Amino acid sequence: MSNVAYLVYCSTGCSCCRGDNHYRGPFASQEDAQKAVDHYKTIPLVASQYSRTGNYSIETATVEPISNGRLIINGTRIADGFVTDPLCIDTSWFEDDNLSHTV
């Protein structure tokens, strides 16, 4: 297993809507992350008056595998594993209400 994951940062592009900004992932490959970005733009997943489709960027993160297939992301967050379907929109692990644990 690689010690790198790819996260998609989803941004509204608007400071008054920044509460909707969030990360999605982790993805095992940059290609999967890019597929997700392309899909998010068609929905659009996040948007504002300044960006009709939202702004999306792919970022790298360090990964440490732990028990049961879970992952520690950037030394602080635990994810249940890599996103296996990049077109699934239910992949937001960084939002407080969807967060598994903090290390």
- Of 8, 5, 6, residue with least CA distance to 89: 8
Delimit the domains of the chain by residue range: 4-85
Distance CA 21, CA 82 (A): 21
- Per the prediction, the chain carries an average pLDDT of 83
CA 51 – CA 69 distance, rounded (Å):
36
Q: What is the pLDDT of residues 83-103, one digit of tens each?
A: 888 887 665 554 444 434 333
pLDDT, tens digit, 9 for 90 and up, residues 42-99 = 988 888 888 899 999 999 999 999 988 899 999 988 888 898 888 876 655 544 444 3
pLDDT at 28: 93
User: Tens digit of pLDDT for each residue in 15-28?
Assistant: 888 888 888 989 99
pTM: 0.83
